[in-house]
Amino acid sequence: MAEPAAAAPPVDRLAIVGLGLIGSSIARAARRYGLARDIVAIDGDEAVRDRVRDLAIADRVTGDAAEGVEGADLVVLCVPVGAMGPVAEAMASRLKPGAVVSDVGSVKGSVVAAIQPHLPDGVALVPGHPIAGTEYSGPDAGFSTLFAGRWCILTPPDGTPDAATERVRALWEGMGALVETMSPEHHDLVLAITSHVPHLIAYNIVGTAADLEAVTQSEVIKFSASGFRDFTRIAASDPTMWRDIFLNNRDAVLEMLGRFNEDLAALAKAVRWGDGDALHAMFTRTRAIRRSIVALGQDTAAPDFGRPRPEEDGGKA
Amino acid sequence: MAEPAAAAPPVDRLAIVGLGLIGSSIARAARRYGLARDIVAIDGDEAVRDRVRDLAIADRVTGDAAEGVEGADLVVLCVPVGAMGPVAEAMASRLKPGAVVSDVGSVKGSVVAAIQPHLPDGVALVPGHPIAGTEYSGPDAGFSTLFAGRWCILTPPDGTPDAATERVRALWEGMGALVETMSPEHHDLVLAITSHVPHLIAYNIVGTAADLEAVTQSEVIKFSASGFRDFTRIAASDPTMWRDIFLNNRDAVLEMLGRFNEDLAALAKAVRWGDGDALHAMFTRTRAIRRSIVALGQDTAAPDFGRPRPEEDGGKA
């Protein structure tokens, strides 16, 4: 990870719109690693602004997007996907020539379509998506190392000046992230399978369990350690953010969900007919993917995610 | 958790058949907390027996189940569900009168049916299922605090002497587990939704992702932190154990899977038609279940399961 540089920071004035988990983490990291001379925090929610002032993670705090982006050479929108268009429209007239606008939305095609039309000539759009987060929300949930060792995908539309992309890349690399670029369409397909469908499924099974009449909710909760509880963490993510993701990446989600359902039907058939060989073969090949994820540093190899035990020595006899 | 008792241990001779993750954890915990005077480890695999001897977690190690259970007042079968019947048959003739046989299988109805017919008169069966484990297998994966604060479900068939159930309960409570009893049938229904269907779904989505042609496997692995990686941990569990679970709890699994599919169809419809209110309502109510699980101590509230970050201070600015 980058340490505070003696040279000029890659960003002069950084404006962050939306100080939730991601926005507040960017503010903390940008200051900690010396990535911006000046940080402006913009949020429409007075309670959030008050917390940001108390936390002292920005140089200036305002509720007015247009006023807040004045003089900024990089503006990062950290609001739910459905709010990107209105925010872009509100601030567009005050963006300075040469400014770069970025975002952290989990869907890229619809975000480009929502933001791009509002931007004046001479302002570049470099959409971004950090693959990092937790199930918690709000300015108190953020921390400066959230992006360290995690990937950030940039999806600059055709014709974006290289210098604009490099400015955004410098911010993310400065926060310790690994940067990859791809088209917005490909991003949306990749994330549909690695993120959106898994979340939909997790939300779904937690809902199914809550509705059973033969099994009580207290039994579901008590015996959750058998697999179910990992789904509940995912299903505890921010509802507004996830509603917007599904509304804005509909086609890719439904395509991937269709494939998931075909595969699940085949697996259910193997269960119904007692095809042990098919089940064993399927359960064996999925182990290799897990090993690759741990090897690549995208997860811990600690058993059970290293959840704390009553005695931290692990009790090895 | 119980500390070593000055009184006589609740079990005189404890025989454990199968020294994998669960069996070796029982051996470690029984010794550490003084729950048996004498521990016999029985395993058909020579490599496992060698490891158990090296680890020194039993008083005696043998490959012969019949010889190993002689004189034992409690025998715990820790083999895959499909192997329970053959093991019971092999050891039955040498069980001493008054002995209690238990197991740790993840399915209870079929395990009772597989073991019960082999047991001689005067030997009681008290099936058990500890809701604890990790994605790792084998004698090296075990540890003595695996069961601390976790639930263990006992499913004694009608007519089981209370004293037999109490002997098994004493073992589990001595290892720090919380014990609950229910019928084998109800157990299988509860576990179908809290464990078996979640595992089937996790295996399934990891398989779906591996088969895509438009998204490379390396992209799936790189960007797994967006939700997918939690499924891969579950899908890295022991294939033989899980094959046997699905072959032996078929009806309950297919019933719960049917409900899951109905709910998923409704959710997919909300995505297709852009019904944001329905999505938001669904994503909101699942948060309450997560909170209950954390409140009950069945999971950590640490963000992202407390996965270690490059800087352990969390980087709060």
Per-residue pLDDT at B8? 86
Measured between beta carbons, the chain A residues lying within 8 angstroms of B132 are 225
- Domain boundaries in chain B? 11-182, 186-300
* pLDDT surpasses 50 at A314: no
Nearest CB to B292; choose among A221, A257, A270: A221
Angle made by CA atoms B254, A243, A177, in degrees to the nearest 5: 100
Q: Which residue of A has its CA nearest to B131?
A: A226
Closest Cα in chain B, distance from residue A3 (Å): 13
| Separation between Cα atoms, residue B178 and residue B153, nearest integer Å | 8
Specify burial of residue A59 (Cβ count, 10 A radius: 0-12, 13-18, 19+).
middle
Residue of chain B nearest A221, judged by CA positions: B293
Range with the poorest average pLDDT among A229-243, B60-74, B80-94, B240-254: A229-243
Residues of A in contact with B289 (CB under 8 A): 206, 209-210, 217, 220-221, 232, 235
Residue B98 to chain A, least CA–CA distance (Å): 30
The three-state secondary structure class of A38 is: strand
Residue of B nearest to A277 (CA): B243
- Which of A31, A155, A197, A219 to substitute to test the interface with B, most B CBs within 10 Å? A219
Would you say B315 and A145 are in contact if contact means Cβ atoms under 8 Å apart? yes
- Tell me how far apart the alpha carbons of residues A109 and A123 are, in angstroms, rounded to a whole number: 19
| pLDDT given at position B82 | 94
Nearest residue of B to residue A217 by CA position?
B289
Which residues from B are below 8 Å from A276, CB to CB?
Answer: 243-244, 247
- pLDDT higher than threshold 70 for residue A213: yes
Q: Is it true that domain B11-182 has CATH number 1.10.645.10?
A: no
Say what the pLDDT of residue B6 is.
Answer: 56
Task: Give the Cα separation of B177 and B151 in Å (integer).
Answer: 6
Q: Which residues of B touch A211 (CB under 8 A)?
A: 259, 263
Could you tell me which of B170, B177, B185, B169 has the C-alpha nearest to residue B131? B177
CATH fold of A187-301 reads 6-phosphogluconate dehydrogenase C-terminal fold (1.10.3660)
- The share of chain A scoring above pLDDT 90, in percent, equals 78
pLDDT of the residue at B214: 86
Chain B residues within 8 A of A271 when measuring between CB atoms: 200, 246-247, 250, 253-254, 257
Averaged pLDDT, B207-228:
89
pLDDT at B314: 41
Bridging pattern class, strands A151-154 and A128-130:
antiparallel
Chain B residue numbers touching A197 (CB-CB < 8 A): 205
Lowest model confidence (mean pLDDT) among A47-61, A226-240, B189-203: A226-240
At B310 the pLDDT is 57
Q: What is the mean pLDDT of residues A166-186?
A: 97
Nearest to B83 by CA among B243, B201, B273, B210: B243
Say yes or no to pLDDT of B3 above 70. no
Name the average pLDDT for chain B: 92
Extract the tokens encoding B267.
Answer: 């959710």
- Give the CATH H-level superfamily of domain B186-300: 6-phosphogluconate dehydrogenase C-terminal like domain (1.10.3660.10)
* Rg, Å, chain A Cα set: 22
* Minimum distance, in Å, between the CA of residue B97 and any CA atom of chain A: 32
Taking only the tens place, the pLDDT of each residue in B253-285 is: 999 999 999 999 999 999 999 999 999 999 998
* Optimal mutation site among B108, B183, B283, interface A, most CBs of chain A within 10 A: B283
User: Residues of A with CB below 8 A from B151's CB?
Assistant: 222-223, 225
Please, what sign has the CA dihedral across residues B181, B182, B185, B191?
Answer: negative
Query: Phi-psi region for residue A120, left (φ > 0), alpha (ψ -120 to 50) or beta?
Result: beta
Cβ-based contacts under 8 A for chains A and B: 411
Please answer yes or no on whether B28 and A316 come within 8 Å at the CB atom: yes
Residue with tokens 């995505």: B271
3-state secondary structure of A181: strand
| Helix, strand counts (H, E) of chain B | 13, 9
Q: What is the mean pLDDT of residues B41-46?
A: 98
B91 confidence band (pLDDT: 50, 70, 90): very high
CA B85 to chain centre: 18
Flag whether pLDDT at B305 surpasses 80: no
Is the pLDDT at A4 greater than 90? The verdict is no
Q: Which residues partner with B75 through β-bridges?
A: B15, B101
The yes-or-no verdict on residue B97 having pLDDT over 50 is yes
Query: What residue in B sits closest to A209 (Cα-Cα)?
Result: B193
**CA A118 from centre of chain:** 24
Find out whether A146 and B317 touch, Cβ atoms under 8 Å: no
| Contact call for A309 and B145, based on CB within 8 A | yes
Average the pLDDT over B27-53 and give the result.
98
Q: Do domains B11-182 and B186-300 have the same CATH topology?
A: no
Give contacts of A199 with chain B, Cβ < 8 Å. Answer: 227
With pLDDT > 70 as the criterion, what percentage of chain A qualifies? 95
Nearest CA in chain A to B58: A317
Please give the Cα distance from A264 to B176 (Å, whole number): 38
Q: How far is B12 from chain A (nearest CA, A)?
A: 20
Q: What is the pLDDT of residue A243?
A: 96
pLDDT at A317: 41
Angle at B110 between CA B104 and CA B112, to 5 degrees: 65
Confidence grade of residue A309 (pLDDT, cut at 50, 70, 90): low
From the list B224, B254, B289, which residue is nearest A272 (CB)? B254
Average pLDDT over residues B184-197: 96
Chain B residue whose CA is closest to A218: B292
Tell me whether residues B145 and A254 touch, CB distance under 8 A. no
Q: What average pLDDT score do residues A190-216 get?
A: 93
Mean pLDDT confidence for A153-175: 97
Q: Which residues contact A178 (CB under 8 A, 6 or more apart)?
A: A149, A150, A151, A152
Structure tokens, A30: 């940008």
CB-nearest partner of B234 from A55, A196, A227: A227
Is 50 exceeded by the pLDDT of residue B317?
no
CB contact under 8 A, B235 and A199: no
| Residue of B231, B179, B180 lying closest to B201 (CA atoms) | B231
Q: Which helix (H) or strand (E) holds B306?
A: none
> What average pLDDT does this structure show over B177-194?
96
Residue B149, both tokens = 């604060």
